[in-house]
Amino acid sequence: WSHTAAAEDTSYVRGSEAGFRALGVRKLDVLLPVLRMGINVVLSDVDCVWSSSPLPMFHGKVAGFEDFAAADLLVASDCMDPILDVSVRDPGCYHDSVDKNTGVLAVRATPNGIAAMAEWKVRLQVGEKNEQDQTTFNDLIDGNGRGHRWGMSNAQRSDFKKFGEAWCGSHKTKRGYNKLWAGGEDPETGGAGDASVVARGRTTEGSRRIFDVCLPNVSRHVHIGTFPVTAVAGGHTFFVQQLQTQTGVQPMAVHATYQFGDLADCAFGKRERFREWGLWRVPDDSLLASLAVPEVAPEPDRARAARAPARKAAARAADG
């Protein structure tokens, strides 16, 4: 990321708005060529711990998630309400004010999946101020224009909204242009997702629903789903609510969101959270030793220097 970032390589990238945004661009520089080779990708942040494979759910092989096989994108959610998360009409708090969390993202190598990722990269490249990967992704999914938060005037936002409504037609909701996917092929690409689901032409009763989303000027039919918080837990649902102890369901992934310890002078707080729950394997004691707080704090340099002559004199006397 360094040659497009504003700071030097040695800086704390998470603390640099331009640097962190540039890191997001590099992430997509890696992702897009793989997708274009026809390879599906599951991507997660480094503060995410996996305990089982997401592939069965991704391919719709898990009961209750059959429709996921038709998704172009599956994304985690910052939803903190486990009841709203399983809403039949609005799974994953999709239309609520919480973000779709790009810390866990599964992308199918379909034309629509690739188009959405390519547009996301462009939005990161033109981002300003505190815009970063997650905010630009949510603006994209919500049907907003490039640079929506800082790079557009009110008049430009209004014009893009009119354009989006005309381009997408009747999909308009309070968050973007979308409706529940009703099954069948994508009329623009001739099908998306696993062949068996497309051929079936309908949703599976009891399956968590996905959405048919229009992204203005990108694609009219991107199929997007949200991982349930019981399967991909955020920091609040796992560490604070401890939802897994109430349901008896252990998530396949835990993403350490809503946690302290993500600053340059304390970058290991999230790791310690994982260790408390037995989710972080330590290879040996050297790492723990490096984190240990000494029982006696080191002497200030000035005090140590003041005592140095006396120590030297004592040493000479002992030698003599």
Instruction: Write the DSSP symbol of residue 99.
Output: P
Q: What's the Rg (C-alpha) of the chain?
A: 25
CB 103 within 8 A of CB 78: no
Return the top range by mean pLDDT from 201-205, 220-224, 296-300: 220-224
CB 100 within 8 A of CB 136: no
pLDDT in tens, 229-252: 999 999 999 999 999 999 999 999
pLDDT at 2: 45
pLDDT at 6: 47
* Percent of the chain topping pLDDT 90: 59
The length of the chain in residues reads: 320
CA dist 141 and 36 (Å) reads 21
pLDDT of residue 40 exceeding 90: yes
Mean pLDDT for all residues in the chain = 83
Over range 238-267, report the average pLDDT.
86
pLDDT in tens, 271-320: 888 888 989 876 655 555 555 544 444 444 444 445 445 545 544 555 55
Instruction: Among 23-27, 127-131, 264-268, name the one with the lowest average pLDDT.
Output: 264-268
Provide the residue type at 7 as one letter. A
CA dist 221 and 215 (Å) reads 8
E-strand ranges in the chain read 41-44, 48-50, 73-77, 100-107, 177-180, 211-215, 219-226, 232-233, 253-255
CB 318 within 8 A of CB 312: no
pLDDT at 299: 46
pLDDT at 183: 87
CA dist 194 and 311 (Å) reads 76
pLDDT at 264: 65
CA angle 282, 284, 287 (to 5 degrees): 70
pLDDT at 288: 56
- Which position has the higher pLDDT, 144 or 261? 144
pLDDT at 162: 94
Helix 17-36 vs helix 133-141: angle between axes, to the nearest 10 degrees? 60
The DSSP bridge pattern shows strands 73-77 and 219-226 to be parallel
CB 230 within 8 A of CB 251: yes
pLDDT at 146: 93
pLDDT at 142: 94
pLDDT at 16: 78
